[in-house]
A and B are shown apart, each in its own frame.
Chain A
């Protein structure tokens, strides 16, 4: 039985060890920026015309575009900026911020249940207040 040689940079972790609930996303993604669905929508829509003209519309791109258009919560860039401004001063990690922005929970129990890694990084009251502010932004966006 041959032992595989360890070559090049760190080997990617076995998939089984990655776990969003414990915020274990692997070396490649642990420090990565996490985009809101609305942000992805802005970026993909900006590329649409160029891609269409080059006849370079891949299935992955079109399926993702359709998805982000369907599930985008925030309709304009200003609202997205304001949501980001609300999330920035918290102690939450990139992935947790993106999840909160995408899932739009109505209260802290729901948020902490769906994104368990949040745990005690933010108090229940502060989280509730944050969620209500995000909800207002969504309700009153242009």
Chain B
């Protein structure tokens, strides 16, 4: 029974995302499974489980590294694990310009290029959370941010 509840916990909870806890990446340990209670009328049982898990929640003004996925004229999308971060062209240093002619399209200045696959250090400037997903916007327009060598 314990094994069943454990497996159900992994299935139900891992991979979910809420505004409060962010992404539940993986359950690490189960501390306690309380005695099951039958739910009247449904016939199913409810178990209260105490567990610890790895969570990923982005915070405003947090700096993190990310991988660029797509680049277009309004900016670029980068991902940090399950989180997608959009960096608008207004939050990219002014000396970097969008170039649709490079393959793949990129933002570049004289000596730096941002294209799919580039590693960038981004600061989260805001997050929006709906029921099951987190949307983040970021900036690379400050000191020590931008392309990672």
Contact = CB atoms under 8 A, between A and B. Distances in A.
A21 interface: yes
Interface residues of A, number: 38
A21 B80 CA distance: 19
Where chain A touches its partner, the secondary structure class is helix
Interface stretch (B20-28, B33-41, B97-105): B20-28
Q: How large is the interface on B (under 10, 10 to 19, 20 to 34, 35 or more residues)?
A: 35 or more
Given A15-B127, A110-B144, A60 B10 contact: no
A44 B53 CA distance: 11
Given A44-B26, A114-B144, A63 B81 contact: yes
A103 B129 contact: no
B62 A47 contact: no
A29 interface: yes
B54 A113 contact: no
Interface in B61-97: 61-65, 67, 79-82
6 contacts: A18-B59, A44-B54, A56-B10, A102-B64, A103-B121, A105-B144
Interface of A: 12, 15, 18-22, 25, 28-29, 32, 35, 40, 43-44, 47, 54, 56, 58-61, 63-64, 66-68, 70-71, 99, 102-103, 105, 110, 113-116
Given A20-B59, A66-B81, A116-B61, 20 more contacts: A12-B19, A12-B20, A18-B60, A19-B60, A22-B61, A28-B21, A40-B54, A43-B54, A60-B15, A60-B17, A60-B82, A61-B26, A63-B79, A64-B82, A67-B81, A71-B65, A99-B63, A102-B64, A113-B144, A114-B121
